[in-house]
Amino acid sequence: MATPHNGAEKGDFAKTVLMPGDPLRAKFIADNFLTDVKCVNEVRGMLGFTGKYEGKDVSVMGHGMGIPSIGIYTYELYNFYDVENIIRVGSTGGLQDDVNVMDIIFVQGAHTDSNYGFQYGLPGTFAPTASFDLLEKAVAVAKEKGVRYHVGDVLSSDAFYKKCNESELYKKYGALGVEMETPALYMNAAEAGKKALTILTVSDHLFKSEELSALERQTGFTDMMEIALKTAIQL
């Protein structure tokens, strides 16, 4: 049952899917962490794979950049492919002074300037939040690994290059980092009655001169990947 954006058939995806923005990061996860791997999607270069991690079925697929892109791919996974859990594994720009490059952020909630939630016709403002059981499991794994992590909210923006930058304001109100995808994931999960979590690695900092290269972002987030995978096999 292919869609305009996904050539996989129903049953090709596991119940839990890890989703990085970069499809090459999806391939890196499949090549380095999964066994018995099958490529299930190549449409538009958005690579998707299903394999096994510690004997359990797990899928990984790219979601592209921005809320509209992840909105399409996660909607289809939840509603057309019977996926139950999606864990976004992405990068973020740090905001807080105690957040450093290569720290991990577990996204509890996502502030946003996006109008994605307008489609639901809800009165007031919808607050997109993580599924607590996924969040709880992932944080427990991070504690076991002894990695440096933070739990809290992020700012999710529609624009990467902005004429008016509100990062200083959101820093004041406690946002840990800024990224571009989580609200659509959390909203789609809520609408479908499914589960979602975003785990981010800090790749640069908006108020410090720290950043990773594109290659380091593609291949260097192994702690985050392992946390997501060990969370996935508990579901």
Tens of pLDDT along 128-187? 999 999 999 999 999 999 999 999 999 999 999 988 889 999 999 999 999 999 999 999
Give the domains, in start order, of the chain with CATH numbers: 16-232 (3.40.50.1580)
Taking the C-alpha atoms of residue 130 and residue 184, their distance in angstroms, rounded to an integer, is 11
Given phi > 0 = left and psi -120 to 50 = alpha, else beta, which region is 55? left
User: What does pLDDT average to over the chain?
Assistant: 95
Q: Using a pLDDT cut of 90, give the percent of the chain over it.
A: 91
Q: What does residue 104 show for φ and ψ, rounded to 5 degrees? A: -105, 140
The catalytic residue among 57, 103, 204, 223 is: 204
- DSSP assignment letter at 95: -
Residue 94 identity (one-letter amino acid): G
Q: Which of 86, 94, 90, 75 is nearest to 16 (CA)?
A: 86
Give the least confident one: 11-15, 25-29, 161-165.
161-165
- Gyration radius (Cα) of the chain, Å: 17
* 217 — pLDDT class (breaks 50, 70, 90): low
Taking the C-alpha atoms of residue 171 and residue 96, their distance in angstroms, rounded to an integer, is 6
Please confirm, yes or no, whether 204 is among the known catalytic residues: yes
The model's pTM is 0.96
Taking the C-alpha atoms of residue 86 and residue 78, their distance in angstroms, rounded to an integer, is 9
Q: Which pLDDT does position 220 carry in this prediction?
A: 66
Helix intervals (H) in the chain: 23-33, 67-80, 132-145, 167-172, 182-192, 214-219, 222-232
- Scored b (16 or more CB within 10 A) or e, 39-75 reads bbbeeeebbbbbbebeeebbbbbbbbebbebbbbbbb
